Structure 1
Amino acid sequence: MKVQLLLGITGLLSTAVVDSATVEQQILKNLEETSSTNVLVTFKNSNSKAALSRFDSLVLASRDARLNTMYAILKDHADTVQADVIAMLEKSRSSKNTDIRQLWISAELIVRGADKETVEALRNHPDVESLVAETFIPLEPIEVNQLSTDEILPNAQWGVDKIRAEQVWENGNKGGGIVVANIDTGVRYTHTALRSNFRGTIQGNNNYAWYAPTGKAAVPSDSQGHGTHTMGTIAGNANGIGVAPGATWIACKGCAGSSCSTFDLTECGNWVACPTTTSGASPDCGKAPHIVSNSWGGGQGNGWYDDIIAAWRRVNIIPLFSAGNSGPNCRTANSPSDRTGAIAVGSTTNGDVVSSFSSVGPTVDGRMKPEISAPGSSVVSASSSSDTGYATMSGTSMACPHAAGLSALILNEKPNLTVDQLKDALITGAQHIISSGKTCSGVKDSDYPNHHVGAGRIDAVASTTYAIKKY
């Protein structure tokens, strides 16, 4: 994962050695201000293409077999690549109070609490390619308004109604049997709209249901409110806020507050593919979710999350990402939503026009984004303020969970769909919206697909019907 330009050290630690690893300048700045810092270690022989080719050549009938086999192959590769460095770090782990986290998907390491001596040792280790600094991606909800209980209508909220989710529910499909995850600010799991279908509530403990990379808190929490709101839209089962109120949900805290650590997001990406206990132990890949909703992003054309998205796709975990809130200008779609493997979701209003803030394609290399759009303006969902709190928020962060909820409804009907088949159902069922008279890269927003809303605004009836007939 390389989020910034890598800079070589020129005498800032000790005399450089031939073929020593590159170290991001921010790491050195951090160590000037404090005694330790967090670093990501990349390896010279970490390329996992051969291991993944071996996985791709296998015929594995069940989902669990695919999940467990991918983990076994990539974990073995990571163990081999990292063995000497981990052994070196373990020798001083207790005395230096460092925390070593293995990223089995990309064969990288996160070292939390690395001091100057540790950074120097890593830089000079022959297996290490680079040391990358932790960076933070800000969350950007456009609008947040807390609501009193008497302001909440008991019927389906406008976004749920607009995409016709209720009509799918009438056929007995509320997303039951499907597990949905979000990577966000956490979730107030005791909220009345979320408590009963949280995996932790169902099984009586939070293992394989919740993970917080920073601090490893055993109990879910959300001091910011963003994650509670997005999960409410996915699977909330009170006051009509959730698209798939019958789905089971789990969560990983990739954002400790108003911003998201790239290290936490990466750990969460690994956890989604093979969940662990709340302490990060005893992985059980069979408990991986079917869908992961990511209402975060920043920058453009940045592939630092590509390995994770590729791993999710290999085991048919649906990778949904908010397109970003950098619109309305062209070429504003954020990463990772602008990556080839991600399904990007733009935002629409109650009036069925594109939201003014919704990021727009094309990508920096000319591809069309977003793939689809969903309700994202003035969305009512659960608030972290109390167990009965609700709030209105706006942003593509609110649109993405609508698509995640619809994906759960589709998978309830056709649980064995691949990522591309599910994406096909979302796109084919999408409805055209009212044109704003805009054009990007020669494509009018009245033509479909386009760079403003992709194939259009999602529709639960059309997409589930299509999936049933086609697959």
Structure 2
Amino acid sequence: MKRIIFYIILIIASQSIMCQNYYWYKGAKIPLTEKSDKRFILTTSSNSTQVASTLQQQGLKYSAFQAMSIAGVNTYSAGTQSTSWSFVEGSTVQTATANNTTIIYEAPFYIMNGKEVGLSQIFYVKLKSSAGVNDLMNLASLHKVEIVGENKFMPLWFTLTCTKASTGNALKMANLFFESNKFAAAVPDIIDNIKTTCDNDPLFSSQWALRNTAQKGGTSGIDINYCNAKTLSTGSTSLVIAVFDTGFELNHPDLNASSLSYDTKTATSPSKIYGHHGTACAGIITAKSNNSLGVSGIAPSSKSMSLSFQFGYSPNAAQEISNGINYATNNGASVISNSWGGGASSDMIDDAYTNALTKGRNGLGCVVVFAAGNDNSGYIGYPANSNPDFIVVGAMNQCAQRKSPTSCDGETTWGGNYGTILDVSAPGVLIPTTDRQGSAGYATGDYVMNFNGTSAACPHVAGTAALMLSVNPSLTQKQVADIIESTSRKIGSYTYSTTSGRTNGTWNNELGYGLVDAYAAVLKAKAGSCSTITYSNQTVTANTAVTGCIVNAANDYVNSGKLTVTATDYTIINPIFEVKLGAELELK
């Protein structure tokens, strides 16, 4: 009997604890359950690199920092600094973020209606009437929150922000303001995954590598961050990725193919088809997207160049391989994807790849990506091991594991190679992609749903490199490799550590620098092409617009009219910066 009573009390206590977190919507409490291992953080943009370094040293995972923007309000306070935000995960995250003085705000994630949601520093308050402004200002001052401004379209709604100095986070402040009975409504800024379809291709929902929603028994979010990356770029029509493989179907209705191709066996164009493999690899990179057909490629606006080679025992193979690589170099390929390995080491082949790395792209160098191999071995063979400038890619699965015979995907016959040569990892199991049309390929129809191997992983990185070069074509091949390595995510239960010869962050023997993050890589590549516009010592008396990639403003006075600052990356506002009553500042 005592056990039963205790059990009932425990349930009641648990329910009471769960109801402690809530927010108000239409007069009812929406319950939230706090997560202890994930936080939203905010820091000044100038400190974001330092914060990222500290988090990494503490073994915490974090998303790429993004500039905070609060647009669409008539600004009350311009603020004195630009800020950036990130999501941070780990068992010690609560203590680490609370004690980090360079983090100006942090708040937990919650479970709401079975979904994970975050909480920013923002909350919104609706006045009962315009006379309620004084109540708003008094309560904001008392609880050390900032009134950012009133909504341009609904002037009774105001935006406010919290810091660590505030009485509580945005959830607690929204509840406090509403429960004061002085306001019509007060709601926190709940960060939910507000989804578009990302792509309308019918098989996109199965492409866990591009957007992992826990399909195929995986872990939500373990993907290459494609949907965010495509907001920055989908590639460029002038950018070509050479696919050295069995050749692919140039007339596939869902493939964006270059008009240039080459067959290494006959040294003629167009390329031929010696198997199914090449069509699958090409689809991962440049399958057309949002065409209501099949799958989505990572760089769908770019084009794949088919370099066909007849794999297996064959005389003259070294020269054929070399000719194919040189053809790509001499005919405008920016990236060369190599989902193959084996053969005797050859100075001739090495020279061809050296030409690509040093002479391609008018001396900036072609980006050369290689598969690590599928032997579940700590040894990575030739040619991937022949040049330190290659990006060597291992395979991981939908559960954030290195692909091995015992990993969660259930493919027990193979594992991705790993070891000292490995640079990064990418999805390599259960990959939907293009197939040879009809019954000619791996499956009946024009698509295969379970392409696998480091052969599948390699094109994910090649596609990411193409996106990077589309936003910043002046990058050298070495800079592309450095960015891909330095922005890769530290996934899984692996220890990443400082390693001799590995200069782009912490590294692990099984996953390299981690899972390639297309969004973070493209963002960093884009920032490298950014120029800073300085706007200082100005007095604004009429409507004025300032536009740039990065805008750095200081010692400015907006006396009348409206100053509109549009930054494609972020805006830095330094003191002194004054906006007088009646004047406006809009940050875009």
Output the CA distance in 1 between the equivalents of 2:481 and 2:500: 25
Aligned residue number for residue 517 of structure 2: 459
C-alpha change, 1:371 and 1:172, in structure 2 (3 Å) is closer
Aligned residue number for residue 477 of structure 2: 419
1:292 aligns to 2:336 (yes or no): yes
Aligned residue number for residue 146 of structure 1: none
Task: Give the drift of 1:175.
Answer: 4.0
1:315-464 matched pairs, under 5 angstroms: 315=360, 316-327=365-376, 329-330=377-378, 332-339=379-386, 340-356=388-404, 357-362=415-420, 369-386=421-438, 389-391=446-448, 392-435=450-493, 448-464=506-522
Match of 2:240, as an amino acid? V
* Equivalent residue for 2:324, pick from 261, 265, 268: 268
C-alpha change, 1:291 and 1:172, in structure 2 (3 Å) is closer
C-alpha change, 1:178 and 1:258, in structure 2 (3 Å) is farther
Percent identity of paired positions between Structure 1 and Structure 2: 26
Alignment coverage as a number of residue pairs? 287
Q: Secondary structure at the match of 2:373?
A: coil
Output the CA distance in 2 between the equivalents of 1:170 and 1:451: 32
Output the CA distance in 2 between the equivalents of 1:295 and 1:407: 15
Q: Secondary structure at the match of 2:299?
A: coil
Task: Give the drift of 1:309.
Answer: 2.0
Which string of whole-angstrom CA distances, capped at 9 and with x for unpartnered residues, describes residues 270-293 of structure 1?
Answer: 21121xxxxxxxxxxxx3210000
Query: In 1, are the aligned partners of 2:318 and 2:346 still within 8 Å (CA)?
Result: no
Aligned residue number for residue 10 of structure 2: none
Deviating more after overlay: 372-381 vs 387-396? 387-396
Query: In 2, are the aligned partners of 1:167 and 1:461 still within 8 Å (CA)?
Result: yes
Which string of whole-angstrom CA distances, capped at 9 and with x for unpartnered residues, describes residues 407-432 of structure 1?
Answer: 11111111111011000110111001
Q: Secondary structure at the match of 1:250?
A: strand
Deviating more after overlay: 405-414 vs 382-391? 382-391
C-alpha change, 1:227 and 1:257, in structure 2 (3 Å) is farther
Aligned residue number for residue 226 of structure 2: 165
Aligned residue number for residue 257 of structure 2: 198
Match of 2:297, as an amino acid? G
Q: Secondary structure at the match of 2:243?
A: strand
C-alpha change, 1:353 and 1:212, in structure 2 (3 Å) is same
Task: Give the drift of 1:296.
Answer: 0.7
Output the CA distance in 2 between the equivalents of 1:385 and 1:355: 29
C-alpha change, 1:179 and 1:218, in structure 2 (3 Å) is closer
Aligned residue number for residue 37 of structure 2: none
Structure 2 runs not aligned, ≥5 long: 1-200, 212-222, 405-414, 530-588
C-alpha change, 1:219 and 1:302, in structure 2 (3 Å) is closer
Output the CA distance in 2 between the equivalents of 1:426 and 1:273: 21
Task: Give the drift of 1:222.
Answer: 2.3
Deviating more after overlay: 391-400 vs 216-225? 216-225
C-alpha change, 1:311 and 1:218, in structure 2 (3 Å) is closer
Output the CA distance in 1 between the equivalents of 2:286 and 2:357: 22
Match of 2:366, as an amino acid? I
Task: Give the drift of 1:262.
Answer: 3.1
Task: Give the drift of 1:254.
Answer: 2.1
C-alpha change, 1:455 and 1:300, in structure 2 (3 Å) is farther
Which string of whole-angstrom CA distances, capped at 9 and with x for unpartnered residues, describes residues 178-216 of structure 1?
Answer: 11111100001111111xx3222xxxxxxxx11112135
Aligned residue number for residue 284 of structure 2: 233
Task: Give the drift of 1:321.
Answer: 0.7
Structure (1 or 2) with the greater helix fraction: 1
C-alpha change, 1:379 and 1:372, in structure 2 (3 Å) is same
Output the CA distance in 2 between the equivalents of 1:378 and 1:338: 26
Query: In 1, are the aligned partners of 2:233 and 2:470 still within 8 Å (CA)?
Result: no
Output the CA distance in 2 between the equivalents of 1:415 and 1:216: 30
1:86-125 matched pairs, under 5 angstroms: none
C-alpha change, 1:304 and 1:432, in structure 2 (3 Å) is farther
Task: Give the drift of 1:307.
Answer: 1.3
Which protein has the larger Cα radius of gyration, Structure 1 or Structure 2? Answer: 2
C-alpha change, 1:212 and 1:456, in structure 2 (3 Å) is same
Task: Give the drift of 1:229.
Answer: 0.4
Match of 2:381, as an amino acid? N
Q: Secondary structure at the match of 1:455?
A: coil
Query: In 1, are the aligned partners of 2:424 and 2:511 still within 8 Å (CA)?
Result: yes
Higher relative contact order (CA 8 A, sep 6+): 1
Q: Secondary structure at the match of 2:304?
A: strand
Output the CA distance in 2 between the equivalents of 1:272 and 1:193: 22
Which string of whole-angstrom CA distances, capped at 9 and with x for unpartnered residues, describes residues 235-290 of structure 1?
Answer: 1114333111110221111235798933321221121121xxxxxxxxxxxx3210
Query: In 1, are the aligned partners of 2:225 and 2:518 still within 8 Å (CA)?
Result: yes
Output the CA distance in 1 between the equivalents of 2:314 and 2:468: 32
Output the CA distance in 2 between the equivalents of 1:306 and 1:336: 8
C-alpha change, 1:299 and 1:213, in structure 2 (3 Å) is closer
Q: Secondary structure at the match of 2:337?
A: strand
Match of 2:277, as an amino acid? H
Output the CA distance in 2 between the equivalents of 1:297 and 1:311: 19
Query: In 1, are the aligned partners of 2:232 and 2:522 still within 8 Å (CA)?
Result: no
Match of 1:411, as an amino acid? L
Aligned residue number for residue 282 of structure 1: none
Q: Secondary structure at the match of 2:352?
A: helix
Match of 1:242, as an amino acid? G
Output the CA distance in 1 between the equivalents of 2:419 and 2:230: 33
C-alpha change, 1:325 and 1:438, in structure 2 (3 Å) is farther
Task: Give the drift of 1:463.
Answer: 0.7
Task: Give the drift of 1:372.
Answer: 1.0
1:213 aligns to 2:264 (yes or no): yes
Match of 1:262, as an amino acid? A
